[in-house]
Protein backbone atom coordinates (compact mmCIF):
# COMPACT_ATOMS: atom_id res chain seq x y z
CA UNK A 1 0.00 0.00 0.00
CA UNK A 2 2.77 2.43 0.98
CA UNK A 3 4.69 1.54 -2.15
CA UNK A 4 1.54 2.11 -4.17
CA UNK A 5 1.19 5.57 -2.67
CA UNK A 6 4.85 6.28 -3.37
CA UNK A 7 4.28 5.51 -7.03
CA UNK A 8 1.29 7.81 -7.39
CA UNK A 9 2.26 10.79 -9.58
CA UNK A 10 1.91 14.29 -8.19
CA UNK A 11 0.01 15.13 -11.37
CA UNK A 12 -0.09 14.27 -15.06
CA UNK A 13 -0.42 16.28 -18.26
CA UNK A 14 -1.11 15.46 -21.91
CA UNK A 15 1.11 16.30 -24.89
CA UNK A 16 0.33 16.44 -28.61
CA UNK A 17 1.97 18.17 -31.59
CA UNK A 18 1.40 19.10 -35.22
CA UNK A 19 -2.18 17.97 -35.76
CA UNK A 20 -2.25 20.15 -38.92
CA UNK A 21 -5.88 19.35 -39.61
CA UNK A 22 -7.41 20.23 -42.98
CA UNK A 23 -10.48 18.80 -44.67
CA UNK A 24 -8.49 17.74 -47.74
CA UNK A 25 -7.21 14.47 -49.19
CA UNK A 26 -3.98 12.95 -47.98
CA UNK A 27 -0.79 14.41 -49.43
CA UNK A 28 2.93 14.55 -48.85
CA UNK A 29 5.50 16.82 -47.23
CA UNK A 30 7.48 19.45 -49.15
CA UNK A 31 10.26 17.02 -50.15
CA UNK A 32 7.77 14.23 -50.96
CA UNK A 33 9.39 11.81 -48.54
CA UNK A 34 6.50 11.46 -46.06
CA UNK A 35 2.74 10.98 -46.31
CA UNK A 36 0.44 13.46 -44.60
CA UNK A 37 -3.02 12.51 -43.34
CA UNK A 38 -4.84 15.85 -43.20
CA UNK A 39 -8.36 14.60 -42.58
CA UNK A 40 -7.76 11.71 -40.20
CA UNK A 41 -5.55 13.87 -37.98
CA UNK A 42 -8.79 15.06 -36.38
CA UNK A 43 -9.67 11.49 -35.40
CA UNK A 44 -6.20 11.05 -33.91
CA UNK A 45 -6.81 14.19 -31.85
CA UNK A 46 -10.04 12.61 -30.62
CA UNK A 47 -8.17 9.40 -29.76
CA UNK A 48 -5.88 11.48 -27.55
CA UNK A 49 -8.84 13.11 -25.76
CA UNK A 50 -10.40 9.69 -25.15
CA UNK A 51 -7.17 8.32 -23.71
CA UNK A 52 -6.63 11.36 -21.48
CA UNK A 53 -10.21 11.22 -20.24
CA UNK A 54 -9.89 7.52 -19.43
CA UNK A 55 -6.44 7.80 -17.83
CA UNK A 56 -6.21 6.50 -14.26
CA UNK A 57 -4.84 9.90 -13.22
CA UNK A 58 -6.49 12.42 -15.53
CA UNK A 59 -4.24 15.18 -16.87
CA UNK A 60 -4.37 18.55 -15.13
CA UNK A 61 -3.77 20.24 -18.48
CA UNK A 62 -2.72 19.54 -22.06
CA UNK A 63 0.23 21.03 -23.96
CA UNK A 64 -0.68 21.49 -27.64
CA UNK A 65 2.75 22.09 -29.17
CA UNK A 66 1.65 24.05 -32.24
CA UNK A 67 0.49 23.69 -35.86
CA UNK A 68 -3.04 22.69 -34.87
CA UNK A 69 -4.47 23.34 -38.36
CA UNK A 70 -2.64 23.22 -41.67
CA UNK A 71 -1.70 26.18 -43.85
CA UNK A 72 -3.68 24.62 -46.72
CA UNK A 73 -6.84 25.88 -45.00
CA UNK A 74 -6.04 29.52 -45.66
CA UNK A 75 -6.26 29.65 -49.49
CA UNK A 76 -9.47 27.60 -49.26
CA UNK A 77 -11.07 30.11 -46.91
CA UNK A 78 -11.39 27.29 -44.38
CA UNK A 79 -9.16 28.55 -41.54
CA UNK A 80 -11.97 29.41 -39.09
CA UNK A 81 -13.93 26.27 -39.90
CA UNK A 82 -10.89 24.01 -39.43
CA UNK A 83 -9.92 25.73 -36.20
CA UNK A 84 -13.47 25.34 -34.83
CA UNK A 85 -13.43 21.64 -35.72
CA UNK A 86 -10.10 21.09 -33.96
CA UNK A 87 -11.02 23.13 -30.89
CA UNK A 88 -14.31 21.25 -30.56
CA UNK A 89 -12.30 18.04 -30.14
CA UNK A 90 -10.40 19.63 -27.28
CA UNK A 91 -13.69 20.61 -25.63
CA UNK A 92 -14.47 16.91 -25.18
CA UNK A 93 -11.22 16.44 -23.29
CA UNK A 94 -10.74 16.42 -19.56
CA UNK A 95 -8.44 19.41 -19.07
CA UNK A 96 -7.65 22.98 -20.12
CA UNK A 97 -5.29 23.31 -23.08
CA UNK A 98 -2.16 25.41 -23.32
CA UNK A 99 -1.73 26.26 -26.97
CA UNK A 100 1.73 26.87 -28.42
CA UNK A 101 1.91 28.73 -31.75
CA UNK A 102 3.67 27.22 -34.77
CA UNK A 103 4.31 28.35 -38.33
CA UNK A 104 0.95 26.97 -39.51
CA UNK A 105 -0.91 29.20 -37.06
CA UNK A 106 0.66 32.16 -38.89
CA UNK A 107 -0.16 30.76 -42.34
CA UNK A 108 -3.81 30.94 -41.28
CA UNK A 109 -3.99 33.98 -39.01
CA UNK A 110 -2.20 37.24 -38.31
CA UNK A 111 -0.49 37.67 -34.96
CA UNK A 112 -3.13 40.13 -33.84
CA UNK A 113 -5.94 37.73 -34.86
CA UNK A 114 -4.23 34.91 -32.93
CA UNK A 115 -3.98 37.09 -29.84
CA UNK A 116 -7.77 37.57 -29.98
CA UNK A 117 -8.50 33.89 -30.75
CA UNK A 118 -9.10 30.82 -28.56
CA UNK A 119 -5.54 29.78 -29.47
CA UNK A 120 -4.42 32.46 -27.01
CA UNK A 121 -4.43 30.45 -23.77
CA UNK A 122 -2.75 33.17 -21.72
CA UNK A 123 -5.87 33.26 -19.53
CA UNK A 124 -4.39 30.16 -17.87
CA UNK A 125 -1.19 32.05 -16.97
CA UNK A 126 -0.19 32.72 -13.37
CA UNK A 127 -1.64 35.94 -12.03
CA UNK A 128 0.52 38.87 -11.01
CA UNK A 129 3.49 40.70 -12.46
CA UNK A 130 6.13 38.79 -14.41
CA UNK A 131 3.85 35.98 -15.61
CA UNK A 132 4.26 37.21 -19.20
CA UNK A 133 6.68 39.50 -21.06
CA UNK A 134 5.88 43.20 -20.82
CA UNK A 135 5.39 43.47 -24.59
CA UNK A 136 1.83 42.13 -25.13
CA UNK A 137 2.48 41.01 -28.73
CA UNK A 138 4.94 38.35 -27.51
CA UNK A 139 2.92 35.20 -26.89
CA UNK A 140 4.71 33.73 -23.89
CA UNK A 141 3.67 33.07 -20.32
CA UNK A 142 4.34 31.12 -17.18
CA UNK A 143 1.93 28.87 -15.30
CA UNK A 144 2.21 26.86 -12.12
CA UNK A 145 -0.26 23.96 -12.07
CA UNK A 146 1.15 22.56 -8.82
CA UNK A 147 3.42 24.38 -6.35
CA UNK A 148 7.06 23.62 -7.18
CA UNK A 149 6.43 22.94 -10.87
CA UNK A 150 6.48 25.83 -13.32
CA UNK A 151 5.73 25.60 -17.04
CA UNK A 152 6.71 28.23 -19.59
CA UNK A 153 5.10 28.65 -23.01
CA UNK A 154 7.53 30.35 -25.40
CA UNK A 155 6.91 32.22 -28.66
CA UNK A 156 9.33 30.77 -31.24
CA UNK A 157 8.06 33.21 -33.93
CA UNK A 158 8.59 36.35 -31.97
CA UNK A 159 11.45 37.09 -34.42
CA UNK A 160 10.10 35.92 -37.75
CA UNK A 161 8.82 36.79 -41.20
CA UNK A 162 5.59 35.02 -40.21
CA UNK A 163 2.83 36.93 -38.46
CA UNK A 164 4.58 40.30 -38.72
CA UNK A 165 3.40 43.13 -40.98
CA UNK A 166 5.80 43.61 -43.89
CA UNK A 167 5.98 47.31 -43.01
CA UNK A 168 7.04 46.59 -39.41
CA UNK A 169 10.48 46.93 -37.89
CA UNK A 170 10.16 43.33 -36.65
CA UNK A 171 9.71 42.08 -40.23
CA UNK A 172 12.60 44.19 -41.53
CA UNK A 173 15.06 42.91 -38.92
CA UNK A 174 13.92 39.28 -39.36
CA UNK A 175 14.47 39.64 -43.12
CA UNK A 176 17.92 41.10 -42.54
CA UNK A 177 18.82 38.13 -40.33
CA UNK A 178 17.52 35.37 -42.66
CA UNK A 179 19.10 37.03 -45.73
CA UNK A 180 22.54 36.75 -44.13
CA UNK A 181 22.33 32.99 -44.61
CA UNK A 182 19.59 32.27 -47.15
CA UNK A 183 19.86 33.70 -50.69
CA UNK A 184 17.14 31.48 -52.18
CA UNK A 185 14.27 33.13 -53.97
CA UNK A 186 11.92 30.86 -52.03
CA UNK A 187 12.88 31.39 -48.40
CA UNK A 188 11.07 28.18 -47.45
CA UNK A 189 13.94 26.45 -49.24
CA UNK A 190 16.81 25.88 -46.77
CA UNK A 191 20.21 27.37 -47.64
CA UNK A 192 22.66 24.92 -49.21
CA UNK A 193 24.90 24.57 -46.15
CA UNK A 194 25.61 21.12 -44.74
CA UNK A 195 25.47 22.44 -41.19
CA UNK A 196 23.16 24.06 -38.66
CA UNK A 197 22.75 27.17 -40.83
CA UNK A 198 20.09 25.18 -42.71
CA UNK A 199 17.69 26.46 -40.03
CA UNK A 200 17.46 29.90 -41.64
CA UNK A 201 14.19 29.37 -43.48
CA UNK A 202 10.89 31.22 -43.52
CA UNK A 203 9.09 28.43 -41.62
CA UNK A 204 11.35 28.92 -38.59
CA UNK A 205 11.86 31.87 -36.31
CA UNK A 206 13.42 32.88 -33.04
CA UNK A 207 13.17 34.57 -29.66
CA UNK A 208 13.61 38.32 -29.16
CA UNK A 209 15.90 39.81 -26.53
CA UNK A 210 12.80 40.96 -24.61
CA UNK A 211 11.52 37.40 -24.47
CA UNK A 212 14.92 35.95 -23.50
CA UNK A 213 15.31 38.55 -20.74
CA UNK A 214 11.84 37.71 -19.44
CA UNK A 215 12.64 33.97 -19.51
CA UNK A 216 15.85 34.70 -17.61
CA UNK A 217 13.85 36.47 -14.90
CA UNK A 218 11.34 33.59 -14.68
CA UNK A 219 14.17 31.07 -14.32
CA UNK A 220 15.98 33.22 -11.74
CA UNK A 221 12.86 33.25 -9.60
CA UNK A 222 12.35 29.49 -10.11
CA UNK A 223 15.96 28.84 -9.07
CA UNK A 224 15.38 30.79 -5.86
CA UNK A 225 12.23 28.80 -5.08
CA UNK A 226 13.89 25.50 -6.15
CA UNK A 227 11.14 24.82 -8.66
CA UNK A 228 11.28 22.40 -11.61
CA UNK A 229 10.66 24.16 -14.92
CA UNK A 230 9.42 22.66 -18.18
CA UNK A 231 9.54 24.86 -21.29
CA UNK A 232 7.15 24.30 -24.21
CA UNK A 233 7.57 25.90 -27.62
CA UNK A 234 7.07 24.97 -31.25
CA UNK A 235 10.70 24.93 -32.39
CA UNK A 236 13.35 22.60 -30.95
CA UNK A 237 16.49 24.31 -29.61
CA UNK A 238 18.97 21.46 -29.15
CA UNK A 239 20.74 20.33 -32.34
CA UNK A 240 20.79 16.72 -31.11
CA UNK A 241 17.03 16.65 -30.60
CA UNK A 242 16.04 17.38 -34.21
CA UNK A 243 17.15 18.05 -37.80
CA UNK A 244 19.16 21.22 -38.37
CA UNK A 245 16.43 22.46 -40.69
CA UNK A 246 13.89 22.53 -37.83
CA UNK A 247 15.91 24.44 -35.19
CA UNK A 248 15.01 27.89 -33.88
CA UNK A 249 17.12 30.60 -35.50
CA UNK A 250 18.81 31.71 -32.25
CA UNK A 251 18.72 28.38 -30.46
CA UNK A 252 22.18 29.05 -28.96
CA UNK A 253 20.87 32.12 -27.14
CA UNK A 254 17.96 30.20 -25.67
CA UNK A 255 20.26 27.34 -24.63
CA UNK A 256 22.58 29.88 -22.98
CA UNK A 257 19.69 31.20 -20.86
CA UNK A 258 18.70 27.65 -19.87
CA UNK A 259 22.35 26.80 -19.08
CA UNK A 260 22.68 29.75 -16.74
CA UNK A 261 20.03 28.27 -14.42
CA UNK A 262 19.53 25.06 -12.50
CA UNK A 263 15.74 24.81 -12.60
CA UNK A 264 14.95 23.65 -16.15
CA UNK A 265 14.27 19.92 -16.40
CA UNK A 266 12.66 19.57 -19.81
CA UNK A 267 12.22 21.43 -23.10
CA UNK A 268 9.34 20.19 -25.28
CA UNK A 269 8.79 21.07 -28.92
CA UNK A 270 6.99 19.93 -32.05
CA UNK A 271 7.57 21.02 -35.68
CA UNK A 272 9.89 18.12 -36.71
CA UNK A 273 7.34 15.42 -37.40
CA UNK A 274 9.75 12.53 -36.88
CA UNK A 275 10.28 13.47 -33.26
CA UNK A 276 13.59 13.38 -31.42
CA UNK A 277 15.16 13.33 -28.00
CA UNK A 278 18.41 14.35 -26.38
CA UNK A 279 19.49 14.40 -22.76
CA UNK A 280 21.89 17.29 -22.33
CA UNK A 281 24.31 15.84 -19.76
CA UNK A 282 25.90 19.24 -19.06
CA UNK A 283 22.67 20.78 -17.82
CA UNK A 284 20.53 17.72 -17.10
CA UNK A 285 17.83 19.11 -19.43
CA UNK A 286 15.77 16.60 -21.41
CA UNK A 287 15.03 17.90 -24.92
CA UNK A 288 11.96 16.20 -26.36
CA UNK A 289 10.67 16.77 -29.89
CA UNK A 290 7.27 15.15 -30.14
CA UNK A 291 6.26 13.13 -33.22
CA UNK A 292 3.66 14.93 -35.32
CA UNK A 293 0.08 13.73 -35.68
CA UNK A 294 -0.06 14.87 -39.34
CA UNK A 295 2.44 12.24 -40.51
CA UNK A 296 0.90 9.47 -38.43
CA UNK A 297 -1.28 7.02 -40.37
CA UNK A 298 -4.94 6.63 -39.32
CA UNK A 299 -4.32 3.21 -37.77
CA UNK A 300 -1.71 4.59 -35.35
CA UNK A 301 -1.48 7.48 -32.87
CA UNK A 302 0.84 10.28 -31.75
CA UNK A 303 0.28 11.70 -28.28
CA UNK A 304 1.41 11.11 -24.75
CA UNK A 305 0.66 11.52 -21.09
CA UNK A 306 3.40 12.68 -18.74
CA UNK A 307 3.35 11.62 -15.09
CA UNK A 308 5.23 13.99 -12.81
CA UNK A 309 6.93 12.76 -9.63
CA UNK A 310 9.20 14.53 -7.17
CA UNK A 311 12.33 13.16 -8.86
CA UNK A 312 11.28 12.51 -12.46
CA UNK A 313 8.74 12.71 -15.25
CA UNK A 314 7.58 9.65 -17.16
CA UNK A 315 6.25 10.02 -20.69
CA UNK A 316 3.83 7.27 -21.67
CA UNK A 317 3.60 7.48 -25.44
CA UNK A 318 0.88 6.18 -27.73
CA UNK A 319 1.45 4.95 -31.28
CA UNK A 320 4.61 6.54 -32.68
CA UNK A 321 5.47 8.39 -29.47
CA UNK A 322 7.95 6.35 -27.43
CA UNK A 323 7.90 5.96 -23.67
CA UNK A 324 10.63 8.03 -22.04
CA UNK A 325 11.97 8.65 -18.56
CA UNK A 326 13.12 12.17 -17.64
CA UNK A 327 15.10 11.94 -14.40
CA UNK A 328 15.70 15.24 -12.61
CA UNK A 329 19.36 15.82 -11.84
Question: What residues does 97 pair with on adjacent strands?
Answer: 62
Pick 67 or 158: Cβ nearer Zn ion: 67
Pick 19 or 264: Cβ nearer Zn ion: 19
Q: Which of 7, 11, 3 is nearest to 307 (CA)?
A: 11
C-alpha span between 171 and 166 (Å, rounded):
6
> Which 303-322 residues touch Zn ion, going by CB under 5 A?
none
Indicate whether 105 belongs to the interface with Zn ion (CB under 5 A): no
> Which 198-227 residues touch Zn ion, going by CB under 5 A?
none
175: left (phi over 0), alpha (psi -120 to 50) or beta: alpha
> Minimum distance from CB of 105 to Zn ion (Å)?
9
Binding part of the chain for Zn ion, among 5-13, 162-170, 269-277, 306-314 by CB under 5 A, reads 269-277
Pick 235 or 265: Cβ nearer Zn ion: 235
> Which 55-84 residues touch Zn ion, going by CB under 5 A?
67
> Minimum distance from CB of 66 to Zn ion (Å)?
6
Among residues 14, 59, 93, 102, which is the contact residue for Zn ion, using CB under 5 A?
102
130: left (phi over 0), alpha (psi -120 to 50) or beta: left
Pick 271 or 287: Cβ nearer Zn ion: 271
Indicate whether 276 belongs to the interface with Zn ion (CB under 5 A): no
Per the CB < 8 A criterion, the answer to whether 273 and 229 are in contact is no
Binding part of the chain for Zn ion, among 88-96, 122-130, 268-276, 310-318 by CB under 5 A, reads 268-276
Among residues 47, 103, 160, 198, which is the contact residue for Zn ion, using CB under 5 A?
103
C-alpha span between 266 and 222 (Å, rounded):
14
Q: Which of 212, 213, 209, 202 is nearest to 177 (CA)?
A: 202
> Minimum distance from CB of 140 to Zn ion (Å)?
17
Nearest-10 Cα torsion for 74, 80, 82, 84: 160
Indicate whether 271 belongs to the interface with Zn ion (CB under 5 A): yes
C-alpha span between 272 and 155 (Å, rounded):
17
Binding residues for Zn ion, rule: CB under 5 A, are 67, 102-103, 271
Amino acid sequence: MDECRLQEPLFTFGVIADVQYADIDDGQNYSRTRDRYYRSSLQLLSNAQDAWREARVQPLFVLQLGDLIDGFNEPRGASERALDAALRRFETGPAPVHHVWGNHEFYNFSRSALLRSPLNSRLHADSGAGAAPVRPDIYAYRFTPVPGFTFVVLDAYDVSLLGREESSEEYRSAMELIRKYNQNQDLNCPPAFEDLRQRFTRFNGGFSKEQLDWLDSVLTSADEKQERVTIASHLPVHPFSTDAVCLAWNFEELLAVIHSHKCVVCYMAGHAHDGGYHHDKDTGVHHLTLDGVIETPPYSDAFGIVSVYADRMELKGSGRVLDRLFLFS
